[in-house]
Structure 1
Amino acid sequence: MLTPVDDGPAVVVCNTCRFSAGDREDADGVRGGALLVAALRAAKADDQRYAGVGIQQMPCLFSCSEHCSIHLRAPGKVGYLLGRFTPDAEAARAILDYAVHYAESEHGRVPFKNWPQGIKGHFIARTPPAGYVVEG
């Protein structure tokens, strides 16, 4: 049931997520999550700044009331569940821009001034790293 992946900073994408709040798939029958995986991989391939962030995927992050959800995680850092993205290049770049700041942070907290506009309003939950809880 579990598949080993690299343990570094990663964006884990729900590859079965809905395309939008109202539609399960795009006009070609492709789920939004699969499109977001493709957009993230293309953005990563086009920009060396994203080399240190893994793009991983799995079916269903159990965030089904949202669409195009991701989990941002790294060892020893607070994780974040984000969603409600449009599965396109602009969203992919915003996610990866934030992920770079996240990877460089000490505990996973990125100052608001460093948040890309395309990430604001997409946070759903934060998750503590194994063995820790978050203070204040």
Structure 2
Amino acid sequence: MASSADPWMREYNEASKLADNITGMISERSSFGARSEARHHSSAIRRKITMLGTRLGSLQSLLKKLPAKQPITKKEMNKRRDMLANLRTNVTQTAEALNMSSFRNRDNLLGPGTKRADDMARISALEADDGR
């Protein structure tokens, strides 16, 4: 197993903690009564998901450079690839659950059954909430 001085493992552990934090925040989301509080909380979750996505990119980059920087077995390299893939899947699923456009395209966000009138009704409701 890799030592605690291993930069990739340190970064992975931090990313994993952030993912756990996001999961906890999502669990808390239903406890917010006021709409503005819920929106702020959802925004914080989205920011953290974006940060986690950046960390995953960094981990991917570090993983590509790893064999040149330190001796690592093929088995350990495959294990790390799997760990990274699992964490990336977790982030993608979380982002999909929150309808984050940076992880999905517009059609997937709206869903196949959404009609143009539904979109307009949603926009009108959002404008009404903002006092427009």
> TM-score w.r.t. structure 2 length?
0.24
Task: Specify the structure having the higher radius of gyration (Cα).
Answer: 2
Structure whose residues are more often helix by fraction: 2
Higher relative contact order (CA 8 A, sep 6+): 1
> TM-score w.r.t. structure 1 length?
0.23
Structure whose residues are more often strand by fraction: 1
